[in-house]
Amino acid sequence: MAVAAGWASCGQAEDFSPVKTLAAASDRISESPAYAHALAGSLEWLDFGIESRTRYEQRWNDYATPGLLSDDALVTRNLLWLGITEKLDPLRLFVEAEDSRRFFSDRTADPNIETGLELIQAFAQLYWEDALAGLPLRINAGRMAFDFVDRRLVARNRNRNTISAFDGLRIRLGEDATRWEVDAFALHPVERIFDARDQAAENIWLAGLAAHWRGSSPHFIAEPYWLWLNQDNDRTTPMRRDIHTLGFHAFGRLGKEEAWDYDASLTWQWGTAQDSRHRAWAAHLEAGRTFDAPWKPRLALWLNYASGDRTPGDGSNERFDPLFGASYAMYGFSGWFVWRNMLNTAVRLTFQPAARLRCELLHRAYWLASDTDAWTRGLRRDRTGGSGSFIGQAAEARLVWLVCGNLDFDLACSHFLPGGFTSGTGDAPAAHFFQAAATLKF
């Protein structure tokens, strides 16, 4: 009896509400999208949601394009969610459709921006509310889109106009509000295709396992995890990868009235990539302080590091592989940086001048972790290392206005000043990015 009671105490407690991380863009969507909700009355077993986003974006001297193109575009993303929950228990059914399009742009089609109408989720779920020690159990089979741990390696994209999806099996014991949780999956990533239906990449397997311990909230939440990516050549992409990723993510709040917060990740990779031995690592360290003031200001400092390849052609690859992770807001609004061959420091100030208005100001600086490896998103490399490692710095600002419960406006801008590496590897003008988005939810 005592053992059973002890197990049960690890599950859901009525007054238990674990703290969430305050790190930029790291708050997880584990399954249902944020815009989904249960209908009222006799239809409470039916989940429903619509989200429609229209965004204008302008890029000047885009470093992610050959020739540093300047262009603007109007992009739209419409999402529809439907779910049948309690009516057929333990069987539940969910589907999410996405329609992503781009207008008024002269650039070639990009499946990261526009794929038309696609299903990004369509899965059946077996659900038991009290399966073990008071914890719910979910077994999902089908197509899914979700965040894993801190979103740096597997993510449901927020800002990108198309959302990454995966086909396969996922098992979750516990949920976001329980003291502990285990999350395991075996999936094929879904390839986004501009002029045809998206389809699973059957030559790629992604397996994952994560444990979440929240019992020490708010001071310490621990999330150890493992991922295995196995990729064989296919007819269009001559790429072989067999990479294991072992990581540990922790966050919490400390001090008087929990004014201090922290978020940290440490990740190792090993295996093979093409015909080279793969050994790499990455880290994220962040500390923040929220001040007792009317605008709720929070000042945070952080460092992102991801190793780069030290010696080209030596049969060993040290460039960290970010797999299917997110990058926007974590590494820069421009989209020119990702968790790969990077040393990035940042200062971030957030505040709320009004209850429905959130603002943030950032300064970021970027170096190559290895000066002989590439700035991959910037399409530049000096194999000799003679151009140095400093890529440049960026000043950024963002404003989010929640007009009402169903409508918000999101403005973001970035001003990039190139450094010595950028100047030494080609044309290096200052570059700018701006976007304005309106999102409507039903």
Task: For 34-84, write each residue's pLDDT tens digit.
Answer: 999 999 988 999 999 999 999 999 999 999 999 999 999 999 999 999 999
Class of domain 2-13+25-441: mainly beta
Average pLDDT over residues 332-357: 97
Average pLDDT over residues 273-281: 93
* pLDDT exceeds cutoff 60 at 6: no
Q: Three-state SS string across 244-307, please?
A: EEEEEEEEEEECHHHCEEEEEEEEEEEEEECCEEEEEEEEEEEEEEECCCCCCCEEEEEEEEEC
**pLDDT of amino acid 237:** 63
β pairing state of 390-404 and 204-216:
unpaired
Query: pLDDT band at 90, cuts 50/70/90?
Result: very high
Average pLDDT over residues 249-259: 94
Residue 81: name the closest of 116, 52, 51 by CA.
51
Token pair belonging to 133: 């020690």
Instruction: State the Cα–Cα distance between residues 430 and 346, nearest whole angstrom.
Output: 19
Query: pLDDT band at 107, cuts 50/70/90?
Result: confident
Instruction: State the Cα–Cα distance between residues 307 and 397, nearest whole angstrom.
Output: 28
Task: For 197-234, write each residue's pLDDT tens digit.
Answer: 999 999 999 999 999 999 999 999 999 999 999 999 77
Residues 361/295, Cβ–Cβ less than 8 Å: no
Please indicate, yes or no, whether the overall pTM of this predicted structure exceeds 0.85: yes
Query: pLDDT band at 14, cuts 50/70/90?
Result: low
Share of the chain above pLDDT 90, in %: 86
* pLDDT exceeds cutoff 80 at 235: no
* pLDDT exceeds cutoff 80 at 185: yes
Average pLDDT over residues 338-360: 97
Instruction: State the Cα–Cα distance between residues 20 and 182, nearest whole angstrom.
Output: 17
* pLDDT exceeds cutoff 50 at 363: yes
* pLDDT exceeds cutoff 70 at 112: yes
Which own/partner contact pairs does 122-129 have at CB distance under 8 Å and 24+ positions apart? 122/94, 122/95, 122/96, 123/93, 123/94, 124/91, 124/92, 124/93, 125/91, 125/92, 125/93, 125/94, 126/90, 126/91, 126/92, 127/85, 127/89, 127/90, 127/91, 127/92, 128/90
Token pair belonging to 389: 């490692």
- Beta strand segments in 33-177, E: 37-38, 46-60, 71-84, 91-103, 116-132, 135-144, 166-173
Provide the mean pLDDT of the chain. 93
Instruction: State the Cα–Cα distance between residues 383 and 83, nearest whole angstrom.
Output: 52
Terminal Cα-to-Cα distance of the chain (whole angstroms): 47
Instruction: State the Cα–Cα distance between residues 80 and 96, nearest whole angstrom.
Output: 5
Q: Which residues does 235 contact at the CB level (< 8 Å), separation at least 6?
A: none
Q: 48 — phi, psi (to 5°)?
A: -150, 150
**pLDDT of amino acid 25:** 86
Instruction: State the Cα–Cα distance between residues 97 and 84, nearest whole angstrom.
Output: 15
- Beta strand segments in 166-203, E: 166-173, 180-191, 199-200
* pLDDT exceeds cutoff 70 at 13: no
* pLDDT exceeds cutoff 90 at 327: yes
**pLDDT of amino acid 10:** 52
- Residue 35: left if φ>0, alpha if ψ -120 to 50, beta else—which one? alpha
**pLDDT of amino acid 16:** 86
* pLDDT exceeds cutoff 90 at 284: yes
- Beta strand segments in 104-134, E: 116-132
Query: pLDDT band at 3, cuts 50/70/90?
Result: very low
